[in-house]
Amino acid sequence: MTNHSQSLENNSPKIERLIDANLNRLKEGLRVIEDICRYIHNDTILTPQIKTLRHQLKNAYNKERLSYRDIEGDTQKTSTKSELTRSSLDDLVIANFSRAQESSRVLEESFKLKQTELSELFKQIRYQLYAIEKNYFAQY
């Protein structure tokens, strides 16, 4: 076994925790954007696009990964001042697009270590989010 393989095996629980946290972050960001499109804008185009993205995440869901979740040991569970302050709906939308795009990138990179087909899925999701964000701000 190579050092790389040993390193990956030793870090597997940490990678699973990283994946779990970013799946949650991505789902949450998508839900905020989806609900704004649905309930504030009554948008019949963007809402189902975002809902479809959110449903694609089920392909990466693994209930065994929950055992790696460490809420008590999370060193960043306290919100920063900027996370607690939003001055407009645009700020809220930008924050959640950013959250979703960043999480997609982390998942894309993390799944390169485990399941390359899921890495490609999250790359596609990230690029779809860039397009949806552009469309959102072209309209609102």
Q: For residue 20, how many other CB atoms are within 10 A of its CB?
A: 19
Query: Euclidean distance between the first and final Cα of the chain, in Å?
Result: 55
CA count, 13 A, side-chain hemisphere, 80: 4
Q: What is the pLDDT along the chain (140 residues), one digit of tens a residue?
A: 444 454 556 579 999 999 999 999 999 999 999 999 999 999 999 999 999 999 999 989 988 888 888 777 777 666 665 656 779 999 999 999 999 999 999 999 999 998 999 999 999 999 999 999 999 999 99
Q: Is 68 exposed, middle or buried (0-12, 13-18, 19+ CB in 10 A)?
A: middle
